Structures are given as structure tokens and as C-alpha cells.
Amino acid sequence: MSREIIKIFDTTLRDGEQSPGASMNTEEKIQIAIQLEKLGVDIIEAGFAAASPGDFDAISRIAQRVTNSTICSLARAMDRDIKAAGDAIARAKMKRIHTFIATSSIHMEHKLKMTPDEVIKRAVRAVSYAREFVDDVEFSCEDAGRSDIGFLKEISDAVIVAGATTINLPDTVGFRLPHEIGAMVREMSEYTKNRAIISVHNHNDLGLGVANSLEAVMNGARQVECTINGLGERAGNAALEEIVMALKTRGDIFSNFKTNINTKEIYPSSRLIANITGIEPQPNKAIVGKNAFAHESGIHQDGMLKNRETYEIIRPADIGLDITDTLVLGKLSGRAAFKDKLKKLGFKLEDEALNSSFKRFKLLADKKKDIYDDDLRALVTNEMTKATQIFELVSLQLMDCSNGVPSAAICIRKEGKERVDASIGDGTMDAIFKTIDRISGYEGRLMDYRVTSVSKGKDALANVTVKVAFNDNEPAIIGHGLNIDTM
């Protein structure tokens, strides 16, 4: 018996980027999109073209690079948004415009200040205009979870006639319980029949994003919108890796369904997102957390030694995690071995990037005895996204003692020219940032500073994420650094 395909609509680059501290530059977004294509995502929501020139550029460049996934841009139900979306995805092999307007009473009354009839007219106009750019139009009823079912049917009828091929029913604020989502999806699926695909977009405010998505599939949804690592607004979105692995692992329940996801690319995708955004999944996060396959209890360890299936329902290899392959390269390893290992990890670098990464690997290998896969992933990800680097830290000298004044002497290179300065501060970090402000000419306000260990061991590579704001009118800038020396 043939199984129905559940389309996976990944919105990591759009909704995921709305996570506080998760903004990404264009080069980083391109690398993520390429990985999502490798993962087998059906639709990549590459961004919100009208939001900024940077978003437009990123979507446009992704549209030219990705060929096996549909490239989608979000657009409000406004002509200028839709035109920006259409222009941004124009060169994509497969393209979609995703337009939306709120349909709940609370949103229509307080946010839109529009009547239901006005909302329907706006929605129809948006879909009709989007069809001038693409054949594949998705319409979202924002806050469908709190919308009247009668109105959802009425507006769905109207936009389907106008040309919408997918109707998305988002639980925008994560309010609904699984049985409520199931009932809504079942009624809407039966009502629309074969006229449009029913999609769901569940948020995780009550920790039910994945449960709601799975219940929706059981009741007629054939597209699920989700993000890697569950990134997204507030408490995040339904996590792609959890949905996909639930469908696969519980084949007894979901025997009629399958996805196009290559599950062996789940872990590499998770690590790439974590390295770029600086947001690590919680250690006990399902599927991709650091402890997801760790067993400390004596009883559990005994069972694992006898048969892994006693306490593991998923094999690490199923998600692309080889926990037996630890020490892989060292300082005596050559360029060919390095290139081959990167290929196994899913990286395909041009000669210049490969040479630069290899040099950094050699420098790391001189300082670090064991080089792990996560070290290489972090190193190469950092190297691939250096194209947007403006300032480069050349050297840093610190003095911090209990009886002295913390100070920092720093050399920074910009456009081939080096500048050196020094400063004192209330602490080591304060001294560093004051010095950087003086050299760069930018006075920033430190918003966030995080240090995480890339792998394990006392000589572990440190991944430092710094978020700095320069004024209240522009988004904060996020920087990443990798070194054995945390400072």
C-alpha cells in the first residue's frame, strides 16, 4: 500500500530567526538553506522579503542556489509585500508565495481594525495578486487556533477560488490542545476536500507544538510547518526533528504516512543551526540534545550493554550521529584526509574555503590533542560565514588579578590595516569591550554573552557568542568566535 507524503515546510530561516538572538546574515542563511535541501525539506521558507533589503537579498540568493526544494517567501496581504516576495524568488526552480492575514475576532478587532468582510476581500486580493508571480500560493489564517470555524470555511472558500493551493491553519499563540487541533483540522480537511492541502503551523507556548502537529496529521493535514531545534517566536515552533522521527519511529501508528526527509542529515542540520545562531538545544532536548543518547543510571547501562533496544527507541546513526567515531583527525593528518572527513560530515567547500579551513584545523590540532566531529563542524561553519567579517581580532593581551586593575590590549585589523589600543575596565570583559569600542569607533551595548563547549575535554574548543546593540532603532549584531582560549 502506498503511503501519503507529509510535506515538511521548514521555517527556520523565517520564524526561527525571530527567536531572540537568532538573527543570521546572508552567508549563514545560504549555508543553512543548502543543508535544508540536503535534509530533504520540501519547502524552505527563506524569509520575509519585504522586511528588509538583507532579507530580500538572502531569499534571492537562496532561490538561485537551491534546486531540489521549493523556495518560499512570506508576505503580508499587501501588494508591496507580495511584489517583493515574487521578485525575490523569481529565479527559483520551484517557488511559492506564502501570504497571510489574521482571522480571529481578537486580531481583526484590535490589530487589523477590519470587519470580516474586509478581511476576506484583502485575502482574495492578496492571493489573486500572488498568482501573477507564482502558481503555488499558500494562504495562512493567522491565529486560526482562536478563529471561528465558520469564518475559516468562508475565507478558505474565497481564497481557494482566487488560486490558493495550500490553506495553513496556524495555532499562532500555542493555545490549543491536541484534540482541539485535531477536530479543527478534521473539519476543515473534510470541508475543503481535494481543493487544497491543509497545513498546520503550531507554536510551543504550552509545550504542545509537536503533539498538535502529529494530531493534525492524523486528522487530514498533509503539510507540517516546523523548525530545526524548535526555534521560533517566544517558546518556539514545533521541532522538525521530533515530528519526523515520531512519524518514522511510530510506524505502527503512522503507517499510512511518510516524509521525504533524509533523517541521517538531522543531527548535522541541528549542529549547523546551533553553531550559526549560538543557541544550543537544551541538553535533554529530544532527538538532538547532548543527553539524548546518554545513559548514566546503572540499571540503564546494564540494559544497554545487553541490548541497546532496552533503553533506546532510536539509533544514533538514524539521525546522522556516529557516537563511536570520536578521535578522527590529528596534527599529522593531511589535506586529503581532512577533505574526505568534511565530505562525510556533509560539507562541500570550494578550494579557497577548504584551504583556509585546513589552515585553521592545523592550528587547532597543534593546541588540541583530540579533534572531534563537532570541533570540525564548528570550525568549518565559522569559516564558511566569514565573508561578512569587517573587523578581525589579531591579538589580545589581558591583565586581571585580584589586587590589580583589569586591562586589555588589543590589535584589530580592518581592510588590511592594524590598530592597537588598550583600556582598563571594571572587569576583564568590560576592559575588552571598552578597548574594542575605542579601536572600532562604535560604542556598543553588550546585550548577551555566552560561552559553550563545542566538544569535550579540558582542552575543548570554546564557542563564544556576543550580542551587541548600537542603538535602539536597529537590530542587535551577533558575533561568533572559536578558540581553545575562552577569552
Helix axes 209-218, 178-192, angle to 10 degrees: 40
The verdict on 305 and 157 lying in the same domain is: no
Q: Which of these three, 384, 402, 417, is where a domain ends?
A: 384
Rg of the chain on CA atoms, in Å: 24
| 288 found inside a domain | no
| 287 found inside a domain | no
| 283 found inside a domain | no
The verdict on 230 and 361 lying in the same domain is: no
Q: Which of these three, 277, 308, 330, is where a domain ends?
A: 277
Question: What's the confidence (pLDDT) of residue 447?
Answer: 78
The verdict on 92 and 17 lying in the same domain is: yes
Q: Residue 59 and residue 9: Cα distance in Å, rounded?
A: 16
Grid coordinates of 220: 487530514
- Say which CATH number the domain at 468 has: 3.30.160.270
The tens digit of pLDDT for each residue in 141-192 reads: 999 999 999 999 999 999 999 999 999 999 999 999 999 999 999 999 999 9
Question: What's the confidence (pLDDT) of residue 163?
Answer: 98
Phi, psi of 431 (to 5 degrees): -65, -40
Answer whether 392's CB lies under 8 Å from 412's CB.
yes
| 125 found inside a domain | yes
Phi, psi of 243 (to 5 degrees): -65, -50
The verdict on 152 and 181 lying in the same domain is: yes
The tens digit of pLDDT for each residue in 194-205 reads: 899 999 999 999
The verdict on 379 and 352 lying in the same domain is: yes
The verdict on 377 and 432 lying in the same domain is: no
The verdict on 365 and 444 lying in the same domain is: no
DSSP symbol at 421: E
Answer whether 236's CB lies under 8 Å from 22's CB.
no
Structurally, how many domains does the chain consist of? 4
Q: Measure the CA angle with vertex 134, ends 131 and 140; round to 5°.
A: 65
What value does the mean pLDDT take over residues 236-248?
Answer: 98
Nearest residue to 293 (alpha-carbon basis) of 332, 267, 331: 267
The tens digit of pLDDT for each residue in 16-30 reads: 988 877 778 899 999
The verdict on 87 and 11 lying in the same domain is: yes
CA 281, 278, 8, 217 torsion-angle sign: positive
| 420 found inside a domain | yes
DSSP symbol at 387: G
What range defines the domain where residue 401 resides?
388-483
- Say which CATH number the domain at 92 has: 3.20.20.70
Q: What is the DSSP string of 228-277?
A: GGG--STT-BPBHHHHHHHHHHTTTTSTTEE----GGGHHHHHHHHHHHH
Q: Residue 355 and residue 86: Cα distance in Å, rounded?
A: 38
| 308 found inside a domain | yes
| 285 found inside a domain | no
Report helix, strand or coil for 376.
Answer: helix
The verdict on 263 and 125 lying in the same domain is: yes
What value does the mean pLDDT take over residues 340-355?
Answer: 81
Grid coordinates of 316: 544514533
pLDDT band at 39, cuts 50/70/90?
very high
- In the predicted structure, residue 388 carries a pLDDT above the cut 60: yes
| 282 found inside a domain | no
Question: What's the confidence (pLDDT) of residue 199?
Answer: 98
Burial of 207: CB neighbours in 10 Å, binned 0-12, 13-18, 19+ = exposed
Q: Residue 74 and residue 412: Cα distance in Å, rounded?
A: 39
Work out the widest C-alpha separation in the chain, in whole angstroms. Answer: 76
The tens digit of pLDDT for each residue in 430-453 reads: 888 889 888 888 888 887 777 877
Strand 4-5 and strand 95-102: pairing?
A: unpaired
The verdict on 254 and 352 lying in the same domain is: no
Grid coordinates of 127: 492571493
The verdict on 140 and 266 lying in the same domain is: yes
The verdict on 46 and 77 lying in the same domain is: yes
